[in-house]
């Protein structure tokens, strides 16, 4: 029997800064990636709710920190997508500042899931973002999205190329997950990983 880990998921609020975020004592897991990488679809699949993450796509909320509460116990943070072609330089600087403030101050943040599209060759913006997490000493894992969209061969090639790029800066590869919101492949591995981290972090507290 498959254990359903996420039993309840609700939208809490969208904030422009970490300072006004609530539930600061609960474990938090953040999701981020290039716009259009499949973040909303992945969050909806994880929570088994068709339209949950639509709320953070509404006008005015795409640049905010969107907080969801899971099982009345832990937090899921939907971070704004990066790499909008039309973003101005001021917007980009503001975005980076908001994120480093969040990463440096949100003490209950346990792990960031960085979404990467393996249907296309490695993108500099993803590598730069992962290196930015490294500079901010943030724990992260990679989630490859939309793995149903290309042949396995092509997905493997792009992932290998991406990992080669990462290994230019990193000594070892982070945990990674291959997923598809369409077929639900790999979705449970992520919720199990979060469940495991929730238990490990709890143990560390004692």
Both tokens of residue 60?
Answer: 């005015």
- Binding region for ligand GDP (CB under 6 A) out of 13-21, 105-113, 133-141, 176-184: 176-184
By CB under 6 A, residue 80 contacts ligand GDP:
no
Give alpha helix (H) positions in the chain: 39-47, 89-105, 124-135, 152-166, 187-205
Strands 65-70 and 74-78 turn out to be antiparallel
Note whether 41 binds ligand GDP by CB under 6 A. Answer: yes
Among 49, 63, 149, 154, binds ligand GDP (CB under 6 A): 149
**Residue 179, exposed/middle/buried by CB under 10 A (0-12, 13-18, 19+)?**
buried
The contacts of residue 167 (CB under 8 Å, 6+ apart) are 173
DSSP, collapsed to helix, strand or coil, labels residue 87 as coil
- φ/ψ (deg, to 5) at 86: -90, 0
- Check binding of 182 to ligand GDP (CB under 6 A): yes
Query: 144 in helix, strand or coil?
Result: strand
Q: Interface with ligand GDP by CB under 6 A: which range of 87-95, 169-177, 178-186, 187-195?
A: 178-186
Q: Select 148 or 195, whichever has its Cβ closest to ligand GDP.
A: 148
**Rounded-to-integer distance, Cα 50 and Cα 31, Å:** 17
| Residue 35 binds ligand GDP, judged by CB under 6 A | yes
Query: Could you say which of 10, 16, 17, 36 contacts ligand GDP (CB under 6 A)?
Result: 36
> Does the protein bind ligand GDP through residue 123 (CB under 6 A)?
no
Of residues 55, 63, 101, 148, which one binds ligand GDP by CB under 6 A? 148
Residue with tokens 């969801």: 68
Residue 14 binding ligand GDP, by CB under 6 A: no
| Nearer to ligand GDP among residue 52 and residue 194 (C-beta) | 52
Residue 38 in contact with ligand GDP, rule: CB under 6 A = yes
**Binding span for ligand GDP by CB under 6 A among 11-19, 140-148, 152-160, 191-199:** 140-148
Q: How far is the CB of 138 from ligand GDP (least distance, A)?
A: 20
Residues in CB range of 20: below 8 A, 6 or more apart? none
Note the residues at the interface with ligand GDP (CB under 6 A): 33, 35-41, 81, 145-146, 148-149, 180-182
């Amino acid at each position: 029997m498959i254990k359903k880990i996420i039993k309840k998921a609700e939208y809490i609020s969208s904030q422009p800064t970490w300072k006004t975020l609530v539930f600061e004592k609960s474990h938090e897991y953040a999701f981020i990636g290039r716009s259009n990488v499949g973040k909303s679809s992945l969050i909806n699949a994880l929570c088994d709710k068709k339209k949950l993450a639509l709320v953070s796509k509404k006008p005015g909320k795409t640049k905010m920190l969107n907080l969801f509460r899971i099982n009345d116990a832990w937090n899921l943070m939907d971070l704004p997508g990066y790499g909008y072609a039309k973003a101005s330089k001021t917007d980009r600087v503001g975005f980076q500042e908001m994120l480093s403030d969040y990463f440096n101050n949100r003490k209950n943040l346990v792990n960031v899931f960085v979404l990467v599209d393996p249907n296309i060759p490695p993108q500099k913006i993803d590598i730069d973002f992962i290196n930015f997490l490294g500079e901010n000493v943030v724990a992260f894992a990679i989630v490859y999205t939309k793995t149903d969209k290309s042949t396995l061969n092509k997905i493997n090639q792009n992932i290998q190329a991406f990992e080669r790029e990462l290994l230019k800066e990193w000594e070892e590869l982070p945990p990674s997950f291959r997923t598809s919101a369409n077929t639900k492949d790999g979705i449970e591995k992520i919720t199990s990983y979060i469940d495991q981290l929730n238990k490990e972090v709890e143990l560390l507290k004692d």
